[in-house]
Amino acid sequence: MRVSASTKINTPVGVVWQIASDPERVLNFMSGMTRWEVASEPSTGLGARYRVLMRIGSAEVGGLIEIVEWRPPFDLAWHSVTGLDQRGRFRLRELSPGSTRAEFRLAYGVAGSGLSGWLAERVAAPSVQRHLGRSISQLSRLAEQEHRRIQAQERRRTVSQA
């Protein structure tokens, strides 16, 4: 099953990337996520691993994931190592110098589980979709706040130098 959510963020792509790719900030914007723990050294980049859990229905599902694509500031993708079969991606594209299109994709399933797996994927989809939608909205808010903070810092530096 594949779900996705996207939005336009009035912030340079580099700022959005800094937040989306930082494992210490993921829980600040990911809706439904109950755990995002670093499980490797280094903690970012290709090959980094995290233990992740998302509350869906009666269970917190997830497992160990590994970053398989790392292309700053545009693409970050992972796939599951253990637990629920999943592939996720943050896809960031610059619309203009101060504007970014951000997309969050998630494909998940349980191989070999037959009809019950097929049904469970579909029953879970609205809940997962809601989590993705809220996550991308919260990423947008965080990124725009961060951008304003950076701009304010720049202005203060300019004034103090003057």
Partner 1 sequence: MPQVEITQAGRHNGQVRKEASPPPPHSGGPLSRLRSVAEAVGAQVKMRIPRADLDERDPDFIRERLPLLWLAATVWYRGEVRGLGNIPDDGPVLLVGNHSGGNMMPDTLVLVLAFNAYFGAERAFYQLAHNLVLSMPWLSDLRRFGTVAASPENARKALEAGAALLVYPGGDHEVHRPTSQSNRIDFDDRKGFIRLALDQDVPLVPVVAIGGQETALFLSRGEWLARLLRLDRMFRLKVLPISLSLPWILNVGDMLGHIPLPAKITVEVLPPIHLREQFGEDPDDDEVYDHVTGLMQDTLDALAGERRLPIVG
Residue 49: closest CA among 74, 31, 70: 70
Query: Which C-beta is closer to partner 1: that of 63 or that of 133?
Result: 63
Candidates 12-20, 21-29, 71-79, 111-119; binding stretch for partner 1 (CB under 8 A): 111-119
Radius of gyration of the chain (CA): 17
Minimum CB separation from partner 1 for residue 49, in Å? 14
Out of 113, 145, 151, 153, the residue judged to bind partner 1 by CB under 8 A: 113
| Strand-pair partners of 66 | 49, 79
Q: What is the pattern of x (binds partner 1, CB under 8 A) and - over residues 4-43?
A: ----------------------------------------
Is residue 97 close enough to count as binding partner 1 by CB under 8 A? no
Helices first, then strands: H and E counts in the chain? 3, 7
Q: For partner 1, which is the closer residue by CB, 26 or 110?
A: 110
In Å, how far are 2, 13, 82, 99 from 45, measured between CA atoms? 24, 18, 19, 24
Q: Which is nearer to partner 1, 77 or 124 (CB)?
A: 124
End-to-end CA distance of the chain: 56
Q: Are 35 and 60 in contact (CB under 8 A)?
A: yes
In this chain, which stretch among 10-18, 65-73, 115-123, 148-156 interacts with partner 1, using CB under 8 A?
Answer: 115-123
Site for partner 1 in 33-92 (CB under 8 A): 53, 57-63, 82-84
Left, alpha or beta for 30 (phi > 0: left; psi -120 to 50: alpha)?
A: beta
Strands 85-96 and 33-38: unpaired
119 lies in the binding site for partner 1 (CB under 8 A): yes
Task: Give the residues lining the site for partner 1 (CB under 8 A).
Answer: 53, 57-63, 82-84, 110-114, 116-117, 119-121, 123-124
